[in-house]
Amino acid sequence: MHKGTAWLLAGMVLASPAAAQQRPVIDLNQIGFEPGDVKLAVLREAGTAPLAWQLLDADGNAVGRGATLVYGPDASSGAVVQRIDFSGFRREGKGYRLSVAGVTSDAFAIAPNLYKPLARDAANFFYQQRAGTPIDARFAGAAWARPAGHPHEVAGCFAGKDERGTDWPGCSYTLDVTGGWYDAGDHGKYVVNGGIALWTLLNAYERRPKAFPDGSLRIPESGNGTSDLLDEARWEMEFLLRMQIPDGARATVPSGPLGAPKPGRPAWEPSVPPFAEIDAGGMAHQKVADRNWTTLPTPPQNDREARLLYPPTTGATLNLAATAAQCARLWRGVDDAFAARCLAAARRAWAAAQRNPQVYATSSFAGSGGYGDASLSDEFYWAAAELYATTGEDAFRKAVTGSPHFGEAVRAPSWSFTAPLGTITLATVKTGLSDAEVQKLRATLIAAADGFLEQRRQNGYAIPYKAQGYPWGSNGDLMNQAMLLGVASDLTGAPKYRAGIVSALDYLLGRNPLRTSYVSGYGARSLQNPHHRFWAHSLDAKLPGPPPGVLSGGPNDTAFADPVAAERKGKCVAQTCWVDNIHAYALNEVAINWNAPLFWVAAWMND
């Protein structure tokens, strides 16, 4: 029995008597395994005595045998689990099944290049989320073709009272902000969150520039002589550039530290500091989005809400600075004029953020997400790192090495904590940093990856993720941790990191206590009803479900924010707090910052 059993019995959630009487179930990756990889399945609710298992081929012949490894009660799933390790079996084939305790698993394959289709489908998600252009059946599939959403988007600034009663003066200009990616299941387009998603795609390109050549993805730009991955990334980069405020523009915004929430208000509603007029030239607007939430379903071409620019923020400005600097580095020699345009925008954004370091998002507008962030030292570090890697200039080197994030312990990146992105860049791109400084940064990334592998040993399903406290978007967090495992593998060559990545993908694709593949189109029981205004077949039979390669946000036991999730509160633990329901936005939304690391990891596996 697992060494943690004593404290689990002392008060953590165990499988209920009713669950213990359930028929045993085998949870595994429903698409299969590559021949040389770790092959692990989980047997759930079969007691705590080792059991004999068989591996059957497509004809039902036993081609492998062994005994289960007992883990015992597992806090992350609320189940009693055992593991089936058949890593030693490498024979390629289809239709394999595991049999144990009178039950048989789903059929699966053992084959090379298993993740190549997933990498391409995960990338196609971004084409399907494009705004400002028709989605063509040739590239998306006939079911998902649609007219352009917001085809010519010229927006002015929000003016008037927000939902908390704060009065905003607006601005004197409009911007053409056509294009970009819809962020998630709504029609908002956000610079914060667009930034990390864009960086992730561009980092995949920087890591392997030849991995996605012209013609490799299903996009209209195929055939133009440029990497398709750069083409897809450019769609979002162009939009971010359009969100930058012209030089000389003034804005009246809250400027200064956010205050404590007013009595009775939640922690995510800090008090707004006094308004001040600032030189806003070079800053980026936080988002362009609807004045009010649209209903489900509302295909983008049917959105009739007013589209507005929401106030500029320092966080959005630094997201622009970082990705535009990265753009300048990667488009050199590909499109020098575009590279120069990106670098100029990055410099303007950096200067604007230096002038206005405390202009925060207030999360107080209806109709769109807030992406509020009250701590921006990580964004300053990330932007400085990208600018330094691109320019080599001493001012950016000093900003990097003087940051508290330089050499600090690394954790998985997120839209609200982007410092790891800067560390990955500085650890993998040749700069003027000394060998000792680079090795220090690499050591922090490797240590983080080792910590994720330790997490794998602390939960019954053997995934590189914590046992409890699954937040909103836990699947995206898991993929970001898997991405760091990939970085550590690149830096060290150690095979243990690939084993961790495989375990993370196994979980997404069915080795979980809900026996579900969280990736649409992959597996025997995959995501069907994401929170999305166009992929809404459950509400309107004329609309499609999700295309293949879309990742659900996944289990969430920390924020039961929607009515469907609220019904699960108190009835689920960690990995079981999920429902495949279009109304469950806290559990089952999709988002560019979650699909981006899924793509990165699937592309890494396809190496």
And the tokens for 485?
A: 């495992």
Query: Residue 326 in contact with residue 236, Cβ under 8 Å?
Result: no
Active-site residues: which are they?
186, 531, 580, 589
Pairing of strands 154-157, 167-168: unpaired
Which DSSP category does 574 fall into?
A: G
List helix spans (H) across 356-456: 377-391, 394-401, 419-428, 435-456
Signed CA dihedral, 480, 481, 487, 490: sign only? negative
- Indicate the helix (H) or strand (E) that contains 307: strand 307-313
The alpha carbon dihedral of 403, 404, 407, 412 has a sign of negative
Cβ neighbours of 388 (radius 10 Å)? 26
For residue 321, CA distances in Å to 343, 384, 417 come to 8, 8, 16
Is-contact 151 180, C-beta < 8 A?
A: no
Cβ proximity of 580 and 568 under 8 Å: no
The pair of structure tokens assigned to 570 is 């108190």
Alpha-carbon span 426 to 410, nearest angstrom: 13
Q: Using CA atoms, how far apart are residues 293 and 61, in angstroms rounded to an integer?
A: 56
The residue type at 118: L
State the distance between the two ends of the chain, measured CA to CA, in whole angstroms: 37
